[in-house]
Amino acid sequence: MLADQALPGTSLTERFKRGLTAPICLTWELTYACNLQCVHCLSASGRRDPRELTTRECLRVVDELERMQVFYVNIGGGEPTLRPDFWDLLDYSVAHHVGVKFSTNGVRLDQRAARRLAGTDYVDVQISIDGATADVNDAVRGAGSFAMARRAMDNLAEAGFGEFKISMVVTRHNVSQLDEFKQIADAYGARLRVTRLRPSGRGADSWAELHPTAAQQRLLHEWLSARPDVLTGDSFFHLSALGAPLPGLNLCGAGRVVCLIDPVGDVYACPFVLHEQFRAGNVREPGGFTRVWRESGLLLRLREPAAAGACASCGQFDACQGGCMAAKFFTGLPLDGPDPECVLGHGERELARVCLPDRPRTEPGHSRGPVFLGRIAARAGA
């Protein structure tokens, strides 16, 4: 909400580019453990990491966030509810004025958990599905995951939780189901959140097969433009070059207003770049998260004006800002060039030149074993 857009001075976007005293959108992944192994998992989760932050260390992070006035944190994983101390951390955080929005596949959201959540203020729940039907969802997220998520949604609705969120990542196979996703959300009185597929984590292996085609991107832009009540996490700013920008911050927030704390306490510039090159520090170091946010050389560099590079001569640079840094990085494209999904097709041309083995990877990752995309039956319009 830009309450005072009417006031003179530099635009907020320009201010944001130079960074804030604390993040606005902080993602905190509590564990690499997950009951699922989605083919596009950003953090390549599966197995718990033995070095994960202890309960006591997590509480200290919450204390710090309270001091920095980080008003809410987006908790994820892995599957955060698999941590035995998850509910205690949630209560502690809320009691310390750090609201919690957490993402889950629903595995632990039984009726009892749903009633508990319905009775807690400052908690938002986001349940992930990546298909509006079991076949499309389960091909990406694993057998039985659609039914599990729907049970969790039923439980929240029955417990009177109110407006929860249903989060989906747009793929080539589910983009034709957007209306069905919206119907599911509406039926629960939930909010639909649509986000962009990134080639990060295990997504590096599935992106080429799953990312929407150019024609699908145009449909997506139209669909979203007509539905301002659908949340996007501001993740589609690369589509702004197609016409009117979508609502929200049309800017890469990495290190400026966004960052990630991973389960072992490593701080990365954004949730989509879990790679050594974008590691800003660790919350266990002296000075903790505050010092990393305020003094890390990497984050300070990200707050400097970025060169438009190969995009400098493009008339649309102001609209898309060159797109997503993580999407470029993991597809092997230069960071000062076009996004791989550049709507003008500049990324596609660049991609053709990238030698596949040279692309950076999230290594070694926490997968339990090889993960493959399931078979998806041909669908009309897909």
Partner 1 sequence: MAFDLHRAYRLSPAVAVRPEPFGALIYHFGNRRLSFLKSPRLVTVVRLLDRHDSAADALEAAGVPGRQRARYAAALAALADSEVIDAR
Q: How many Cα atoms within 13 Å fall on the side-chain side of residue 1?
A: 1
Residue 22 or 132 having the CB closest to partner 1? 22
Give the strands of the sheet with 191-196, arranged side by side.
Answer: 191-196, 165-170, 123-128, 99-104, 72-76, 25-29, 258-261, 266-268, 279-282
Q: How far is CA 193 from CA 53, 98, 230, 270, in A?
A: 29, 22, 6, 19
**Segment interacting with partner 1 (CB under 8 A) among 13-21, 29-37, 127-135, 263-271:** 13-21
Residue 122: CB minimum distance to partner 1, A: 6
Rounded to a whole number of angstroms, the minimum distance from the CB of residue 90 to partner 1 is: 16
The total of other beta-carbon atoms located within 10 Å of residue 55's CB is 13
Spatial CA neighbour of 29 closest among 370, 368, 366, 369 = 366
Binding status of residue 315 toward partner 1 by CB under 8 A = no
With a CB cutoff of 8 Å and minimum separation 6, the contacts of 298 are 255, 269, 278, 279, 280
- Per-residue x/- track, 62-81, partner 1 (CB under 8 A): -------x-xx---------
Question: In the range 228-247, which residues lie near partner 1 by CB under 8 A?
Answer: none
Residues 331-370 that bind partner 1 (CB under 8 A): none
Q: What is the CA radius of gyration of the chain?
A: 20
Residue 7 is a binding residue for partner 1 (CB under 8 A): yes
By CB under 8 A, tell whether 24 contacts partner 1.
yes
Give the DSSP H/E element, type plus range, for residue 326.
helix 325-330
Instruction: State the minimum distance, in angstroms, from the CB of residue 348 to partner 1.
Output: 36
305: contact with partner 1 by CB under 8 A: no
Q: Does 120 bind partner 1 (CB under 8 A)?
A: no
Q: Which stretch binds partner 1 (CB under 8 A): 21-29, 45-53, 143-151, 302-310?
A: 21-29
Task: Confirm or reject binding of residue 22 to partner 1 (CB under 8 A).
Answer: yes
Measure the CA angle with vertex 255, ends 252 and 256; round to 5°.
70
Distance CA 162, CA 133 (A): 23
Interface pick for partner 1 out of 29, 52, 64, 124 (rule CB under 8 A):
124
Tell me how far, at minimum, the Cβ of 298 lies from partner 1, in Å. 20
CB of 74 to partner 1, least distance (A): 13
Please state the closest distance from residue 99 (CB atom) to partner 1, in A: 7
Shortest Å distance, C-beta 327 to partner 1: 26
Sign, CA dihedral 198-37-220-195, equals: negative
Q: Closest CB to partner 1 among 8 and 84? A: 8
Nearer to partner 1, 139 or 246 (CB): 246
Q: 343: which residues sit within 8 A by CB, 6+ positions away?
A: 214, 217, 218, 221, 238, 239, 241, 242, 320
Site map (CB under 8 A) of partner 1, residues 87-116, x = contact: ----------x-x-----------------
Residues whose CB is less than 8 angstroms from the CB of residue 224 and which lie 6 or more positions away in sequence, other chains included: 194, 230, 232, 236, 239, 246
Tell me which of 13, 15, 160, 301 binds partner 1, using CB under 8 A.
15
Rounded to whole angstroms, the Cα distance separating 203 from 210 reads 9
Nearest distance from residue 16's CB to partner 1, in Å? 9
> With CB under 8 A as the contact rule, which of the stretches 11-19, 147-155, 334-342, 351-359 interacts with partner 1?
11-19
How buried is residue 355: exposed, middle or buried, by Cβ count under 10 Å (0-12/13-18/19+)?
Answer: exposed
What value, to the nearest 5°, has the Cα angle with vertex 240 and ends 237 and 242? 140
Under the binding rule (CB under 8 A), the answer on residue 213 touching partner 1 is no
Q: How far is the CB of 289 from partner 1 (least distance, A)?
A: 16
- Site residues (vs partner 1, CB under 8 A): 1-10, 12, 15, 18, 20-22, 24, 69, 71-72, 97, 99, 122, 124
